[in-house]
Amino acid sequence: MSPLAVLCLVLIVPLAIYAAGLYTAAAVFLVGRLRRRRRAPAPASDAAPRAVSVLVPARNEGVMALRAIQSLLDQDTPAPVAVHLLVRDRDDTSWPHLLAAFPGARDGGDGDVAELLAAGPEAGFAGPRRVSVAFTGVDGKADKINWVVQHLDTPLTAILDCDHQAHPDWLRSAAARLAETGAPVVQGRRAGLAADGLFALWDSLHQHVGCEVFNAAFGEHGLSVFLTGTTFVIETPLLARHPLRSRCITEDIDLSYTLFMEGVRAVADPRGGSDEEVSPDLYSFIARRRRWANGHTDAFLRHLPLLRRAPLRLRDRLQFWFHGLHYLMAAGVLALHAVIGAVFAANLPLGATLAAVAVGVGVAVAVARTQHTRGLATRASEAAVLAAWFTPAALMAANVVLGGLLGDPAASIALPLPDVGLAVGLVAVLAPLAVLLVGLLGFGMLTGSTALVVVASYPVAFYLDLSGVLVGLADFVAGRSTWQAVARA
* Domain chopping of the chain, boundaries: 53-277
Contact 176, 44 (CB under 8 A): yes
174-188 pLDDT tens trace = 999 999 999 999 999
- Please report the pLDDT score of residue 408 as a whole number: 58
Helix axes 431-442, 211-220, angle to 10 degrees: 80
Which three-class secondary structure state does DSSP give residue 385?
Answer: helix
Output the pTM of the full model.
0.93
**Count of Cβ atoms closer than 10 Å to residue 478 Cβ:** 12
**Smallest Cα–Cα separation from 321: which of 300, 295, 293, 290?**
300
pLDDT digit string, tens, across residues 119-150:
999 999 999 999 999 999 999 999 999 999 99
State the DSSP code for 309: G
Say which DSSP state 409 is in: G
Give the CB-side neighbour count of residue 239, counting CA atoms within 13 A: 33
Does 46 have pLDDT greater than 60? no
**Nearest Cα to Cα of residue 139 among 57, 204, 213:** 57
Average pLDDT value for residue range 16-32: 96
41: pLDDT strictly greater than 60: no
The topology under which CATH files domain 53-277 is Spore Coat Polysaccharide Biosynthesis Protein SpsA; Chain A (3.90.550)
pLDDT at 400 over 50: yes
Burial class (CB in 10 A: 0-12, 13-18, 19+), 103: exposed
Q: Output helix, strand, coil percentages for the chain, rounded to the nearest 5.
A: 55, 10, 30
pLDDT per residue over 241-259, tens digit each? 999 998 889 999 999 999 9
pLDDT higher than threshold 50 for residue 40: no
Q: Cβ contacts of residue 370 below 8 Å, gap of 6+?
A: 282, 283, 286
- Our separate counts of H helices and E strands in the chain read 17, 9
> Which pLDDT belongs to residue 181?
95
Share of the chain above pLDDT 90, in %: 80
Give how far Cα 438 sits from Cα of 17, 344, 432, Å: 19, 34, 10
Query: 81 pairs with which residues across the strands?
Result: 52, 129
What is the pLDDT confidence band of residue 60, given thresholds at 50, 70 and 90? very high
The set of residues, in sequence order, having a beta carbon less than 8 Å from that of 105 and lying 6+ positions away, is: 98, 99, 114, 115, 116, 117
Continuous segment of H or E residues that includes residue 276 = strand 266-276
pLDDT tens track for 442-462: 999 999 999 999 999 999 999
**Rounded to an integer, what distance in angstroms lies between the CA atom of residue 143 and that of residue 148?**
9
Q: Which residues face 268 on adjacent strands?
A: 187
Q: Are 432 and 462 in contact (CB under 8 A)?
A: yes
Answer whether residue 214 shows pLDDT above 80: yes
Q: What is the mean pLDDT of residues 25-30?
A: 96
SS3 115: strand
Q: How far is CA 142 from CA 55, 138, 243, 244, in A?
A: 11, 9, 8, 5
